[in-house]
Amino acid sequence: MRETFRMDRGQAARIDRARGFTLYEEPNRLPDPIPDLGYCYLWVSTTQGGGAPDLENVEKMFRDGWRPVMQEEQQHILMIVEGRSAWVSKGCIEIGGCLLCKKPEELVEDRIRYYEEIVDRRLNSFRDSVLNMSRREMPITGEWKSYAEYGRDIRPPNQF
């Protein structure tokens, strides 16, 4: 009689992780830049859905403090250029309608603080208006929470 050994999938996954095997992760569509001390990186869209230039978005991001990254700064990024791009001809890194830009960490932190203060003021305003409707006989109580998520976090790691 032949004995068979069966293992549940959870236990098998734990053993694989202990051996050093990792789960498959799909590669990023855009390469990650090599981190530079004091800077945050962001891929800025230069085109709209149909491939038309989106100069308004690029100009808005430049006003916000983002600057294009030159090819010499991130030489490991292989550029596959389709057609003629004004950004690539200037020596910048653009892949698939996205321009790699960088911004000093201090400016990113200032922007994050600015929007956190706006959220706090709005939440406090809402809380105050609700509490103003409260009466002594029937007080309003509760836990006040708010959060927002959008895109990936561009804050420098271990800063907040």
Amino acid letter, 118: I
Q: Which of 15-19, 64-68, 151-155 has the highest mean pLDDT?
A: 64-68
Provide the whole-model pTM. Answer: 0.63
pLDDT in the model for residue 27: 74
Q: Write the Ramachandran bin of 114: left for phi over 0, alpha for psi from -120 to 50, otherwise beta.
A: alpha
Token look-up 């600057």 returns 67
Nearest to 82 by CA among 98, 66, 59: 98
Q: Say which residues have a Cβ less than 8 Å from residue 1's Cβ, sequence separation at least 6.
A: none
pLDDT in tens, 120-158: 888 777 777 777 777 777 777 767 666 666 666 666 666
